[in-house]
């Protein structure tokens, strides 16, 4: 079984997109009635990018539907079919997502296989099974060092199973959703290390062995962009407008959300001379253990004793915005959070800073 996305150039100059479907020795074609336009400017390029994403989404949906038919998931006896095969297929659909997302799906599959002794049918996935699997994740020694999983790892893995079950229900592969009577695993607030304004200034004044690393880190602190988005940022995503000024228009790698982010002159000053539209802004920036070591050395050279990773620059951006009076909703939008609850974690940091400030008043009584 194979579903391939094909292109056919039309006389108009547009490119028609269609699916080439090969299943059980038979070939069929599905024309999607969507087209790529000739590229004349950045807007055309962005339009084509979104069109291709839509086509890929349709392709993925067809692949799951055909796979379901191939495994015999549809019909009265769907309960006797292999849930692990269905989940595995969904996991592979995540291969092009952020590496952490794909890893979480595959790790969940590993634990599902172990918990079910590699034998799990749709009819077995009921409330009792879900509660048992949740308890297994929470209480068993499942890490390489034979210790229990972190609470947030359990939260992530159980949520992947929930997503698979919801997908099965959406595709009508199951008549009843067993999740209705099962509570989710709560996510713990993890510590978010960040730099104060004074520390950030000190860091900017301190030489770093790799200028590209220094500029990228400071750019993240001023914009809130993640490493993954900075690393793939191209010049076509740096926009100039007389009405709105400079901005970054990009698609988040982690959430796939299309974002618009105003950019200050200070952040823009960290960029080099503009390259071609498809050229990366931070050419030469690489994620490696060696680069992480250099980041640590740079931080220590600035006499900062905190355990700072590249992602701490994003935390720094959030705390600076909140400290300087930006409301929580606006910070949430600037960071591209889908749920404001994620942003509220930073608000707790600010509250703690307020408590520390109050407690710093000398004893007068």
Please report where in the chains the tokens 């699916």 appear, as a residue: 19
Whether the domain at 80-188 and the domain at 197-359 fall into the same CATH topology: no
Closest to 288 (Cα-Cα) out of 191, 213, 341: 213
Cα torsion 119, 124, 128, 129: sign: positive
15: its two tokens: 């490119």
Q: Identify the CATH class of 197-359.
A: mainly alpha
Confidence at residue 1, expressed as pLDDT on a 0 to 100 scale? 62
Specify the DSSP element, H or E, that contains 304. Answer: none
Residue 290 scores a pLDDT above 60: yes
62-76, 269-283, 305-319, 337-351: least confident range? 62-76
Banded model confidence at residue 350, pLDDT cuts 50, 70, 90: confident
- The Cα–Cα gap between 211 and 201 comes to 16
Q: Does 25 or 77 have the greater pLDDT score?
A: 25
Q: Identify the CATH class of 80-188.
A: mainly alpha
Q: How many other CB atoms sit within 10 Å of the CB of residue 40?
A: 8
Whether the full predicted model's pTM is greater than 0.85, yes or no, is: no
Q: What's the burial of 351, exposed, middle or buried (CB within 10 Å: 0-12/13-18/19+)?
A: exposed
Laid out side by side, the sheet with 26-36 consists of 2-9, 15-23, 26-36
Confidence at residue 179, expressed as pLDDT on a 0 to 100 scale? 93
Are the C-beta atoms of 101 and 94 separated by less than 8 Å? yes
Taking the domains of the chain in order of start, what are their residue ranges?
1-71, 80-188, 197-359
Confidence at residue 79, expressed as pLDDT on a 0 to 100 scale? 66
Q: Where are the alpha helices (DSSP H) in the chain?
A: 42-71, 83-93, 99-115, 127-139, 151-170, 197-204, 211-223, 227-232, 265-268, 289-301, 312-323, 328-335, 340-359
User: 121 — phi, psi (to 5°)?
Assistant: -100, 160
Are the C-beta atoms of 23 and 66 separated by less than 8 Å? yes
């Amino acid at each position: 079984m194979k579903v391939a996305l094909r292109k056919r150039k039309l006389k108009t100059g547009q490119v028609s997109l269609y699916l080439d479907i090969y299943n059980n020795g038979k070939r069929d074609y599905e024309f999607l009635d969507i087209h790529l336009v000739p590229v004349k400017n950045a807007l055309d390029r962005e339009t084509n990018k979104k069109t291709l994403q839509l086509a890929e989404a349709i392709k993925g949906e067809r692949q799951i539907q055909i796979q379901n038919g191939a495994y015999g998931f549809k019909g009265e006896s769907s309960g006797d079919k292999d849930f692990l095969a269905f989940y595995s297929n969904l996991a592979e659909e995540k291969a092009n997502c952020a590496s952490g997302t794909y890893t979480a799906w595959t790790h969940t599959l590993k634990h599902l296989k172990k918990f079910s002794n590699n034998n799990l049918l749709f009819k077995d996935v009921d409330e009792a099974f879900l509660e048992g699997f949740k308890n297994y994740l929470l209480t068993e020694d499942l890490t390489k060092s034979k210790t229990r999983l972190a609470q947030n790892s359990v939260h992530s893995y159980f949520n992947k199973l929930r997503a698979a079950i919801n997908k099965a229900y959406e595709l009508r592969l199951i008549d009843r959703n067993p999740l209705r009577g099962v509570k989710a695993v709560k996510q713990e607030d993890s510590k978010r290390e960040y730099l104060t304004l004074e520390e950030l200034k000190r860091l900017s004044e301190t030489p770093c062995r790799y200028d590209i690393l220094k500029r990228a880190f400071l750019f993240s602190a001023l914009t809130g962009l993640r490493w993954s988005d900075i690393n793939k940022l191209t010049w076509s995503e740096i926009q100039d407008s007389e009405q709105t000024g400079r901005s970054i228009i990009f698609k988040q790698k982690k959430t796939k959300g299309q974002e618009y982010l105003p950019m200050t002159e200070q952040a823009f000053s960290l960029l080099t001379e503009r390259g071609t539209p498809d050229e990366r802004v931070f050419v030469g920036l690489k994620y490696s253990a060696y680069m992480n070591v250099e980041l640590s050395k740079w931080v220590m050279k600035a006499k900062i004793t905190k355990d700072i990773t590249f992602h701490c620059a994003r935390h720094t951006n959030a705390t600076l915005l909140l400290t300087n009076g930006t409301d929580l909703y606006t910070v949430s939008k600037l960071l591209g959070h889908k749920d404001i609850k994620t942003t509220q974690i930073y608000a707790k940091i600010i509250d703690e800073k307020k408590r520390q400030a109050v407690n710093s008043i000398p004893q007068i009584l």
